[in-house]
Amino acid sequence: MEPYLKKLRHYAGELPLLTADYGSSEGWIAANVNPQLPPEYATYAVLPHIGYFEFIPISELDNSRGEPDFLGIDPQPVSLTEVKVGEEYEVVMTNPAGTEFLFD
């Protein structure tokens, strides 16, 4: 939501912006632990019963230019219990139908 905050605030005027959850068309991913805070301070907790989640460290996707590169790599995803605070990840979700999805 961060890239859209400036435009949302323009249209919302004085209305507060809130974010309650993080979802996709394939399923919910996480819930905001304190939805009363502004979106910049959102902290999400993954909902593990929604699907199976894996996390690919962004550092494994960086190429020599420092940009994500999905070609010619074999990333090693980590499980939810192996995620490290302060690191960035691509989220991979396998929903109950067995379909995998990659989220930014």
Angstrom distance (rounded) from CA 40 to CA 22: 14
| Whole-structure pTM value | 0.67
Residue 85 pLDDT more than 60?
yes
Angstrom distance (rounded) from CA 55 to CA 83: 7
* Residues 14-47 pLDDT 10s: 999 988 998 887 788 999 999 999 888 989 999 8
Contact 93, 100 (CB under 8 A): yes
Residue 48 pLDDT more than 80?
yes
* Residues 58-73 pLDDT 10s: 887 765 455 555 565 6
Residue 8 pLDDT more than 80?
yes
